[in-house]
Amino acid sequence: MPLPAESVVHGSKAKPQDLPSIDKLLRLPTVQALVQSHGHTLVAGEARKLLDALRARALAGELSLGEVAPEALTDALAASVDGRLAPRLRRVINLTGTVLHTNLGRAVLPESAIRHLTTMMEGPNNLEFDLASGGRGDRDSIVEGLLCDITGAEAATVVNNNAAAVLLSIAALAGGREVIVSRGELVEIGGAFRMPDVMASAGARMVEVGTTNRTHLADYERAINAQTAMLMKVHTSNYAIEGFTSAVAEAELAELSRKRGVALVTDLGSGSLVDMSKYGLPKEPTPQEMLADGCGVVTFSGDKLLGGPQAGLIVGERELIAKIRKFPMKRALRLSKLPLAALEATLTLYLQPELLTRDLPTLRWLTRPTEQIEAIAQSLLDPLRIAVAPRYMVELASMSSQVGSGSLPVDRLPSAGLAIAPVLSGKRGAGSALDALAAALRALPQPIIGRVADDKLYLDCRCLDDVTVMRDQLGHLKALLA
């Protein structure tokens, strides 16, 4: 006999007293299985939160009777336990076209670095133990030889990142004294790293010389006095000053620094260890060139063009590096054993330069031939069309990739990929349709990150190695868009 409508509505709602006690919930055999896998603490904690939330909804008259059934409670509890344990750090697929994307973790490590890193972390290692003598060792010695071989430096030390390398170098070599820097090089990179603030944090007084667009040797020369400890060059890695410009080359500054007995320190930012123009890429100054030009100290990042882990590399003259290494702040900024292992393996690749474009992901992607990128895009075209139809259309498109992380800011690399546009009757609604698509791509098990521009969502295939992971998720994407 059909029930009257009102009693159906009334009868389908759960009251707070329909919910089990926490003890009763935990005694359910299905929940006991959860406790077996994850332990009592986590499961009981999540169970308490779940019951509290359900009780609040019951009081508001929003909880259905179906939701208090034992199977439904177990499912909800299992889901919240899974959610609690799911990592916040997730693998993503970078189709932004920016190879060194700071928000996506910058350089992807080479296979050999991942292997060395895991092997070293699986047990104790000789981080600060000299296997030859049995005495205490120095963690710097793990990579110092490699860095000196590759760059031609007399000595080298490593810290947490290049920001730390700059801060430490200034503090150790110029703390309490003056540092001369060109007004054209007062760089701000992302994340509140501004050269004037770094100087202040390092306890040095910054003396600006020249103008935004032009600085001459005489400007530096005039500013040197008894208080001067350092001349500083900063590679303008994330912007370019064009037009009527002039900057003083390192070689000229080196001569001045020698003559006047002040240090010359160059913050190179990216610091590629190979000449990028060899691969047809725009030229970036290398640490080896800076040292050959006479810089006393050169600092650069481990996870930009070098293609390794986050690290700050400091190379240069023996005496200056010794001073930097002995400075107390070094202890607070030192590199941990994890990136150190990855850095060692990455630098080892540079002893075999012929392998770099094959084995170092950063260089492999930067030098990837356009035809190869097009072929990858082509292989995804039809499956992607099916996944996003009928709301969106997809076509092959040429686009421009970027190096990223401030390296080579002006130059763009011809690339290829897929452009997805909403199917709309008018122009209105394109923005929200693209937002919905971008959100669905981000909600995939392995989120896909593209780039929105000109009412389209672009998926640049330059950095895509594993087409299968991408293709296997397209069914999921279709479901999310339905």
Ligand X SMILES: *Cc1c(COP(=O)(O)O)cnc(C)c1O
- Can you give the binding site for ligand X, defined by CB under 6 A? 161-163, 166, 187, 189, 193, 234-235, 237, 267, 269-270, 301, 312, 406
Q: Which residue has the tokens 């177990």?
A: 74
**Residue 209 dihedral angles phi and psi, to the nearest 5°:** -130, 160
The nearer residue to ligand X, 343 or 416, going by C-beta atoms, is: 343
Question: At its nearest, how many Å lie between ligand X and the CB of residue 189?
Answer: 5
What is the CA angle 127-130-134, rounded to 5?
Answer: 125
What single DSSP character describes residue 89?
S
415: three-class secondary structure by DSSP: strand
In the complex, the smallest distance separating the C-beta of residue 102 from ligand X, rounded to whole angstroms, is: 8
Beta strands 297-301 and 263-269: pairing type?
parallel
Give every CB contact of residue 128 below 8 A, 6+ residues apart in sequence: 136, 137, 138, 139
Nearer Cβ to ligand X (161/182)? 161
Given the complex with ligand X, which of 46 and 185 has the nearer CB atom? 185
Min dist. Cβ of residue 343 to ligand X (A): 12
Pick between residue 210 and residue 339 the one whose CB is nearest to ligand X.
339
Q: How far is the CB of 270 from ligand X (least distance, A)?
A: 6
Angular region, 455: left φ>0, alpha ψ -120 to 50, beta rest = left
Residue 303 or 460 having the CB closest to ligand X: 303
Q: In the complex with ligand X, which residue's Cβ is closer, 306 or 321? A: 306
Query: Least CB distance from residue 200 to ligand X, whole Å?
Result: 16
Tokens representing residue 26 in the block: 């935990």
DSSP character string of 325-388:
HHSTHHHHHBPPHHHHHHHHHHHHHTTSGGGHHHH-HHHHHHT--HHHHHHHHHHHHHHHHHHH
Token output for 245? 């410009």
Do residues 480 and 443 make contact, with C-beta atoms less than 8 angstroms apart?
Answer: yes
Tokens of residue 269, six digits: 């930012």
In this chain, which residue has its C-beta nearest to ligand X? Answer: 269
Task: Work out how close the CB of 347 gets to ligand X at its nearest, in angstroms, rounded to a whole number.
Answer: 16
Cβ closest to ligand X, residue 233 vs residue 456 = 233
Determine the Cα–Cα distance for residues 357 and 363; give it in Å rounded to an integer.
5
Q: Minimal distance in Å, beta carbon 284 to ligand X?
A: 11
